[in-house]
Structure 1
Amino acid sequence: MAFSDGSRREAFVPSFLYSPAIRSSGLEWILSRSQSSPVAKAAPSSRPPSPAAFLAEAPSEPAKKIEMYSPAFYAACTAGGILSCGLTHTAVTPLDLVKCNMQIDPAKYKSITSGFGVLLKEQGARGFFRGWVPTLIGYSAQGACKFGFYEYFKKYYADIAGPEYAAKYKTLIYLAGSASAEFIADIALCPFEAVKVRVQTQPGFARGMSDGFPKFVKSEGALGLYKGLVPLWGRQIPYTMMKFASFETIVELLYKNVIPTPKDQCSKPFQLGVSFAGGYIAGVFCAIVSHPADNLVSFLNNAKGATVGDAVSKLGLWGLFTRGLPLRIVMIGTLTGAQWGIYDAFKVFVGLPTTGGVAPAPAPVATPELAKLSSS
């Protein structure tokens, strides 16, 4: 960052310490002081510099913000996605564990409450977090791709459409951007999801990721890690399309019809509350849309050599759509709300605006009057 009064301060602190990536770490606060400080104005001396001489005052102008759609912007969105998905999915591991077992063995795990009771009796309290390591790694990788590539593809498709059509067909932009991002994200997630389901639904198969991953590869082969990829796409792509498009639409409607204050005049905590509420509502729709494929993923990763036809035959169409659905609605609603809350909180932390709430402005329509004004 350049200073208006020349390069005098650069002798104290290199300019890269004021970059956006470092700003949030607190180094500016530790290493900086204003030029009006006696230390900064002290005349050169032959004496050895005191420790205070190595402290420089912070610049008086505001710290540089991350430029929208710059590499730093996409890096911040990727980091926010890692925190958003990795932490939330790991936190709801007990719910996910019961849900997977209800899908695989409904005779034993008849309901949510009885499912928790069976797990507690057979495996103890520690058993509720079985499979948390592949969950953390897999969904952190997925979150990085999901949010980072969504922001990229949303801008990419909007640029292709142009300002007028991007505003007119913004929902299609959200759908296309989220589908493209999730296609990539599921490739990163799939191996860890396969190990997670096997560890959670087959007691005694493995303790966790460290022994479960090589054991799975030895049993199924390396390609076996991806046998659930197509059902995973079938579950996650509709889920993510609904997650992003409905969230953006819900938040925009809230600011337009429910909240009397314009978004840019609302406090940051209030905006984060809107993000959580919009995410929770979107999560309910996500759970319903993606639930049949979720049942397929659990079935295929639990049974060696199983096919989609086997799953449909055993579960039935009604079971495919309803088995474990109430629990998944609670889980996904909470999960999606928390994800949007964490993601937008991280964006605010690094100086970026929260997601959604403002529809893109259409491009001005060319008229003869405007053409005369521009030519004059």
Structure 2
Amino acid sequence: MAPSDQSRHSLVPGFLYSSKTLSHLNNNTNHELPPSSSPQGGTNTKSPMILSPKEGIRMFSPAYYAACSAGGIFSCGLTHMAVTPLDLVKCNMQIDPVKYKNITSGFGVLLKEQGAKGFFKGWVPTLLGYSAQGACKFGFYEFFKKYYSDLAGPENAIKYKTIIYLAGSASAEVIADVALCPMEAVKVRVQTQPGFARGLSDGLPKFIKADGVSGLYKGLVPLWGRQIPYTMMKFASFETIVEKIYKYAIPTPKEQCSKTMQLGVSFAAGYIAGVLCAIVSHPADNLVSFLNNAKGATIGDAVNKIGVVGLFTRGLPLRIVMIGTLTGAQWGLYDSFKVFVGLPTTGGSTPAPVK
């Protein structure tokens, strides 16, 4: 099969863009990158750089990845901080289910013991940690999605797009969790050990004094175990759901929909993806909470204490509500930021069939 004018360029895998963007490319053929090698071993050719609709940010330029990283900070940091009360109750239900029997009693116990201000205990490490994670998660996802598409080539990038979504998101999350782990460790200790610290400023020095700097990364492997499946599900299911919504639920092509409708689709698809994420990653979430709360604890200790069934069920209903809302809001905010800076919303363009 002879590739089309768009797909023959290794740097522009067609399924990543809407037809409107590709049409824009045809009208801007004078914008080119320096010569680059074909990932399939061909001779050096010049590949065009796609412009965003407002021609302000070149797609897949350093400015594009910086914008995606900024959108990740905006979406992840703010949303995780906003649900700190839910996260606080969830963590305590995982650590002490006798005291924190359910959602209602959990909020009641916290209100009685710490007052209303106690509901936002640990908000600073939450904001900083998830802002750093969001920057890496979204920025590197866009990078790796593009990189793996280039390696696969135009036809395989379309044929195996779900695998590319999974590989790109997993690669991004490995990096993102290294950025998140220290703040996550302090956050859990502050939230689940009464009297340990008021917040980050006194909690971080006390944590390092008690566990050492290496202790900040004690929960990294369980964090990977929680976050990598979560993020793979989050991005791959989101991309798939958005595509299906535009294909089956909305009779109008994405390019003809208003930005408000497109952002509504992003939120709805994000919420559904978030429910799936919560279920897939919940056992590891229980492990992270247990390990960061108990000095010297191991994964075996956690399994013996919580039980296999408990790993899958303890705190799950609250986490479904929290993660569903969180993920929907994240995708809505992330795509809102992209629209604000002149970039297209994520996903939703069904690739043309390969002939």
TM-score, normalised on structure 1?
0.80
How far 1:99 moved relative to its partner? 0.1
Task: Find the aligned partners of 1:272 and 1:64 in 2 and give their Cα distance.
Answer: 21
Equivalent residues in 2 for 1:192-207, closer than 5 Å: 192-207=183-198
Q: Show the counterpart of 1:226.
A: 217
SS at match of 1:65: coil
Task: Find the aligned partners of 1:300 and 1:130 in 2 and give their Cα distance.
Answer: 19
Q: Show the counterpart of 1:168.
A: 159
Equivalent residues in 2 for 1:34-183, closer than 5 Å: 64-183=55-174
Task: Find the aligned partners of 1:63 and 1:208 in 2 and give their Cα distance.
Answer: 43
Given candidates 322, 326, 329, the residue that maps to 1:331 is: 322
Do 1:164 and 1:362's aligned partners in 2 also have CA atoms closer than 8 Å?
A: no
Task: Find the aligned partners of 2:166 and 2:54 in 1 and give their Cα distance.
Answer: 35
Q: Show the counterpart of 2:37.
A: none
CA RMSD, 1 decimal? 1.0
Tell me: higher relative CO, structure 1 or 2? Use CA pairs within 8 A at least 6 residues apart. 2
Q: Show the counterpart of 2:349.
A: 358
Task: Find the aligned partners of 1:104 and 1:241 in 2 and give their Cα distance.
Answer: 27
How far 1:67 moved relative to its partner? 1.2
Question: What amino acid is aligned across from residue 91 of structure 2 in structure 1?
Answer: C
Task: Find the aligned partners of 1:101 and 1:190 in 2 and give their Cα distance.
Answer: 19
Task: Find the aligned partners of 1:200 and 1:314 in 2 and give their Cα distance.
Answer: 20
Q: Show the counterpart of 2:14.
A: none
Aligned CA distance change for structure 1 residues 68 and 360 (closer, same or farther; 3 Å):
farther
SS at match of 2:307: helix
User: Is 1:313 the counterpart of 2:304 in the alignment?
Assistant: yes
Question: What amino acid is aligned across from residue 271 of structure 1 in structure 2?
Answer: Q
SS at match of 2:135: helix
Do 1:165 and 1:362's aligned partners in 2 also have CA atoms closer than 8 Å?
A: no
Task: Find the aligned partners of 2:99 and 2:54 in 1 and give their Cα distance.
Answer: 58
Given candidates 290, 295, 309, the residue that maps to 1:304 is: 295
How far 1:216 moved relative to its partner? 0.1
Task: Find the aligned partners of 1:325 and 1:154 in 2 and give their Cα distance.
Answer: 31
Q: Show the counterpart of 1:251.
A: 242
Unmatched segments (≥5 aa) in structure 1: 1-61, 366-376
Task: Find the aligned partners of 1:196 and 1:362 in 2 and give their Cα distance.
Answer: 48
Task: Find the aligned partners of 1:69 and 1:118 in 2 and give their Cα distance.
Answer: 49
SS at match of 2:297: coil
Task: Find the aligned partners of 1:294 and 1:330 in 2 and give their Cα distance.
Answer: 15
Residue by residue, what CA displacement relative to the aligned partner does 1:306-347 show, whole Å, maximum 9, x if unpaired? 000000001000101000000000000000000000000000
Task: Find the aligned partners of 2:107 and 2:351 in 1 and give their Cα distance.
Answer: 47
Task: Find the aligned partners of 1:115 and 1:305 in 2 and give their Cα distance.
Answer: 26
How far 1:66 moved relative to its partner? 1.1
Do 1:175 and 1:241's aligned partners in 2 also have CA atoms closer than 8 Å?
A: yes
Task: Find the aligned partners of 1:233 and 1:320 in 2 and give their Cα distance.
Answer: 16
Q: Show the counterpart of 1:341.
A: 332
Do 1:167 and 1:359's aligned partners in 2 also have CA atoms closer than 8 Å?
A: no
SS at match of 1:185: helix
Do 1:163 and 1:362's aligned partners in 2 also have CA atoms closer than 8 Å?
A: no
Do 2:239 and 2:347's aligned partners in 1 also have CA atoms closer than 8 Å?
A: yes
SS at match of 1:66: coil
How far 1:362 moved relative to its partner? 6.0
Equivalent residues in 2 for 1:210-289, closer than 5 Å: 210-289=201-280
Do 1:85 and 1:139's aligned partners in 2 also have CA atoms closer than 8 Å?
A: yes
Do 1:199 and 1:206's aligned partners in 2 also have CA atoms closer than 8 Å?
A: yes
TM-score, normalised on structure 2?
0.84
How far 1:203 moved relative to its partner? 1.0
Question: What amino acid is aligned across from residue 150 of structure 1 in structure 2?
Answer: Y
How far 1:359 moved relative to its partner? 3.0
Task: Find the aligned partners of 1:249 and 1:309 in 2 and give their Cα distance.
Answer: 36
Unmatched segments (≥5 aa) in structure 2: 1-52
Equivalent residues in 2 for 1:19-38, closer than 5 Å: none
Task: Find the aligned partners of 1:260 and 1:135 in 2 and give their Cα distance.
Answer: 40
Question: What amino acid is aligned across from residue 146 of structure 1 in structure 2?
Answer: K
SS at match of 2:55: coil
Aligned CA distance change for structure 1 residues 200 and 326 (closer, same or farther; 3 Å):
same
Task: Find the aligned partners of 1:296 and 1:144 in 2 and give their Cα distance.
Answer: 25
Percent of matched pairs sharing the same residue: 83
Task: Find the aligned partners of 1:139 and 1:359 in 2 and give their Cα distance.
Answer: 31
Task: Find the aligned partners of 1:357 and 1:122 in 2 and give their Cα distance.
Answer: 48
How far 1:361 moved relative to its partner? 4.2
